[in-house]
Amino acid sequence: MTKAHVYLNFTNQTEAAFTFYKTVFGTEFEGGINRFGDMPPQEGMPPLPDEAKNLVLHVSLPIADGYKIMGSDAPEQMGFKVNQGNNMYISLDVDSRQEADRLFQSLSAGGAVEMPLTDMFWGAYWGSFTDKFGVKWMINCDKK
């Protein structure tokens, strides 16, 4: 079954925002806080700037029964530009690569692909895009 979550991007404020949300909801981060410095070097990408290494790559916080918010910093030195309105995604967790492919192809039709579905270093099949109506989406299939 597909699960939907909200994914938030911040400019260097993710840890502060999620620490605040954690106190409000009284829950704990799932898997801790993953940092950009934890990411292995990516082929064809320039080295990670030192000032970005401690920024949040990913954090997940349960806030209600089966529902969570997730987030990441979007460092400008890595080509990101966060503007009010482009800092939220609907993130879909799916059970199979086939369902990931189907949803990605269907929802991204007429839109703009940001990252094609691919096997990622954290062990998931993942991609992102903006649909033809301007809504930002992420598709994630954890390897079982």
What pLDDT digit, counting tens, does each position of 99-126 carry?
A: 999 999 998 999 999 999 999 998 999 9
Please report, rounded to a whole number, the percentage of residues in the chain having pLDDT higher than 70: 97
pLDDT for 101 equals 96
Calculate ∠ Cα 122-118-61, nearest 5°. 40
pLDDT for 4 equals 84
CA atoms 23, 59, 84, 82: torsion sign: positive
Contacts of 98 (CB under 8 A, 6+ apart): none
pLDDT band at 83 (very low <50, low <70, confident <90, very high): confident
pTM: 0.69
Superfamily of domain 3-142: 2,3-Dihydroxybiphenyl 1,2-Dioxygenase, domain 1 (3.10.180.10)
What pLDDT digit, counting tens, does each position of 127-137 carry?
A: 999 988 677 88
Within the chain, what is the greatest distance between any pair of CA atoms? Answer: 41
